Structure 1
Amino acid sequence: MLFAIALLTLTAMEPQALATSNDVANAAATCMIAAGKKGVDRSLFKAPEWAADGVGSAGFHHSVHPVTIEIPRDKDGVARICVVRAQLPSQAEQKALAANLKNLLQAKPVDQGASLVWLVNTKTGLRGIQLYLDKTSDQPSVRLIGAAF
């Protein structure tokens, strides 16, 4: 009985694993590159650090960091965007995420109030990332959408 109480106490003291701004920025950049007008290039998520969510699933999760990738389909059945979801440990980490994306993409975001949008020209055309901000939570849940235009 004492062992069970000690185990519960230790388990309760372990911090919940949350994503870092670097984890999320890298996932968002991968999503932006993977997104395409003809469909999302899922081969970019065949790296060892990414695992499919299940047989027939379009989603992925990071093997180490608590970051998920969703690849929703449009009405015509083609998945053209890539969505990153993660929970960050603090509002400061959310600000760091925005700064990391600004540095990574070498572009200043357009502030839309509830979100920040980065647009960049690449060799394959215009691409972008939209970061939906969680301005109220102590541990913000963020959503980022990567797209090609």
Structure 2
Amino acid sequence: MNNAIIVRKGTSADLPQVHALIVELAIYEKAPNEVTNTVEDMQQDGFGERPIFEFHVAESAQDGIVGIALYYTAYSTWKGKMLFLEDIVVTERLRRQGIGRLLFREVVAAARAGHYKRMKWQVLDWNEPAINFYRSIGANLDGEWINCNFSEQELAQLAL
């Protein structure tokens, strides 16, 4: 692990590099055209009147921001307040150097500090490196639940 990496709370000024990492993740996940979120959207949603997400960044003096962990508060009817980890992204050339683990540790610290009752996240079934990492730290990989989604377009067309 490169000692030049620091992990800190993300700021508004970090958003252009954060967005670039999100695009990099979409390419890795074989969905490069799916990112419709913009830096401006993230500015409003993360630093506007009612912020709905937080994030940490992994930064090196040489390369700038090389990793992010973005999360938000969700609510479980059974457990109460929970932290949902949306994504951990480390730039591809620096993966497997412990940066993701540092970011994950910060998210766990945020969940503990916020007295969250649960922490949840998702992983793609083909992302073996991530699955292996989560197994190595003792995470429960639940195969019982099915993810359900509507896109913005589908929401607009929904007739109930």
- TM-score scaled by length of structure 1: 0.28
Relative to its length, the structure with more helix (as a share) is 2
Q: Which has the larger radius of gyration?
A: 1
